[in-house]
């Protein structure tokens, strides 16, 4: 048996998708011209699949900070922080993050994936229990695989099921660590965090919240779901990313735990990888200041969310359960989803294609992410194009179309 024989099924299904048209998992943006536009296959394309929620990738203050850091500190750190040392910018960004969240400590990681991997796999000891939402991101599942802790899944967003799982563990030794996400990346729904925080208190558990998709998006200060739910003091570890609202790459964790800093000499995904380059650290630090300084970006984002969500819903499309910057359009089958995705790209609209097994409940999704920088005109074009494609492939019928 050949080394790659194990991928035969995957290769067959990927080839079948590619045979129909462009590869949904291998698109090249020939030129990205703004947070919301790129040239793809020679065509001007509206980007609705970027997670660039606040549109800060071209923000002048971030670009300027990155440029200056690049010119004065060089292109990279060429090593990890425990080996090569931290740059002033790393420590500065950690201080800024701790201040932003009103927490005692912050730790910066090279990617968001590594932040989840590092924090979850390190805080859970062999006798502990990780109780995770069934629809958790791959980075949370992978973190669980790295631990010797007992890993238990609860039904997605089901506080009663979480309570039941903790109840079953009553009387066992070992810490109980609950892991949830602020906004779930595929369907865009939010955790019932106030209820979950109450359950955490009841059982004396710890709570980790991944605010990757909710930082900068939710809360008056943009601190995410915990801020909206009013339970920030109950969250023991906030994990997040710099690659969405903050427009760059990297990850972080903030915590009030007094011994948090021991993780710097224990957490392998922090210790054994090169640290973020100075230009990224500078742009992220500048972007964090923009989030604090310009709450109107959030207001604009939510106005755009309303436009896209309501617009698509009005046409009769089946959407994710909760309004938010991730707007997932359900299609009946993976084949129709691929067909629709390719037709959209041909028409100059780029969304994410999300297929099983990466999606909850076997859903086939056209996953749209809304950006504060989208213009009304762009969103109307997106709505019209998605609706037209849904009509062409028979997902929307004539009466529904007329009703729109």
Partner 1 sequence: MDRFGDEDGVTAPEDEIFSAVTTALEPYRKEGTRIAASTDISQDLNLDSVAVLDLLMELEEKFDVSIPLNLVPEIRTVGELADTVRRLKEG
- Which positions touch partner 1 (CB under 8 A)? 134, 144, 150-153, 155, 164-165, 168-169, 356-357, 362
Give the total residue count for the chain: 404
Nearer to partner 1, 205 or 290 (CB): 205
Separation CA 356–CA 229 (nearest Å): 31
| Residue 86 vs 157, nearer CB to partner 1 | 157
Q: How far is the CB of 134 from partner 1 (least distance, A)?
A: 7
Cβ of residue 196: shortest distance to partner 1, in angstroms? 17
Nearest alpha carbon to residue 132 among 176, 88, 69, 197: 176
Q: By C-beta, is 83 or 134 nearer to partner 1?
A: 134
Q: Which is nearer to partner 1, 169 or 249 (CB)?
A: 169
Cα distances (angstroms) measured from residue 77 to each of 73, 87, 281: 9, 8, 11
CB of 108 to partner 1, least distance (A): 29
- E strands, 198-318, are 206-210, 237-241, 251-255
Do 278 and 69 touch, CB atoms closer than 8 A?
yes
Is residue 108 within 8 A of residue 80, CB to CB? The reply is no
Residue 45 has φ and ψ, to the nearest 5°, of -130, 135
What residue spans of 350-397 are helical by DSSP H?
A: 376-392
Tell me whether residue 31 is exposed, middle or buried, using C-beta atoms within 10 angstroms of its C-beta: 0 to 12, 13 to 18, 19 or more. exposed
CB of 323 to partner 1, least distance (A): 27
User: For residues 311 and 10, what is the distance between their CA atoms, to the nearest angstrom?
Assistant: 36
Q: Give the nearer residue to partner 1 in terms of CB position, either 140 or 209.
A: 140
CB-nearer residue toward partner 1: 351 or 355: 355
């Amino acid at each position: 048996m050949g080394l790659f024989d194990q991928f035969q099924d995957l290769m067959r299904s990927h080839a079948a998708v590619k045979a129909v048209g462009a590869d949904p998992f291998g698109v090249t943006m020939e030129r990205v011209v703004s947070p919301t536009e790129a040239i793809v296959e020679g065509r001007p394309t509206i980007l609705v699949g970027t997670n660039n929620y606040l549109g800060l990738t071209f923000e002048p203050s971030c670009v300027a900070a990155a440029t200056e850091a690049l010119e004065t500190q060089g292109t990279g750190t060429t090593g990890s922080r425990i080996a090569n040392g931290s740059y002033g910018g790393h420590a500065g960004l950690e201080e800024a993050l701790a201040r932003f969240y009103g927490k005692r400590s912050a730790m910066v990681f090279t990617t968001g994936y590594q932040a989840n991997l590092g924090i979850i796999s390190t805080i859970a000891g062999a006798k502990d229990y990780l109780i995770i939402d069934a629809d958790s991101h791959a980075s949370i599942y992978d973190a669980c695989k790295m631990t010797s802790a007992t890993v238990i899944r609860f039904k997605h967003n089901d506080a009663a099921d979480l309570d039941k799982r903790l109840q079953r563990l009553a009387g066992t030794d070992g810490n109980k660590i609950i892991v949830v996400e602020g906004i779930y990346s595929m369907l865009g729904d939010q955790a019932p965090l106030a209820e979950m925080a109450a359950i955490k208190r009841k059982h004396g558990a710890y709570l980790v919240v991944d605010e990757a998709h909710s930082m900068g998006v939710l809360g008056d200060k943009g601190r995410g779901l915990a801020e909206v739910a009013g339970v920030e003091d109950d969250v023991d570890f906030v994990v997040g990313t710099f690659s969405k609202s903050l427009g760059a790459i990297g990850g972080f964790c903030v915590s009030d735990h007094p011994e948090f800093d021991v993780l710097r000499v224990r957490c392998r995904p922090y210790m054994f990888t090169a640290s973020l380059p100075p230009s990224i650290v500078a742009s992220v630090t500048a972007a964090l200041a923009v989030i604090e300084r310009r709450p109107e970006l959030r207001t604009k984002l939510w106005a755009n969310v309303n436009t896209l969500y309501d617009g698509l819903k009005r046409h009769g499309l089946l959407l994710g359960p909760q309004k938010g910057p991730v707007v997932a359009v359900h299609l009946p089958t993976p084949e129709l989803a691929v067909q629709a995705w390719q037709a959209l790209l041909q028409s100059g609209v780029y969304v994410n294609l999300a297929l099983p097994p990466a999606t909850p409940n076997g859903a086939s999704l056209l996953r749209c992410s809304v950006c504060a920088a989208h213009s009304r005109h762009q969103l109307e074009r997106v709505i019209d194009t998605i609706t037209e494609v849904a009509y062409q492939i028979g997902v929307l019928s004539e009466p529904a179309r007329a009703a729109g």
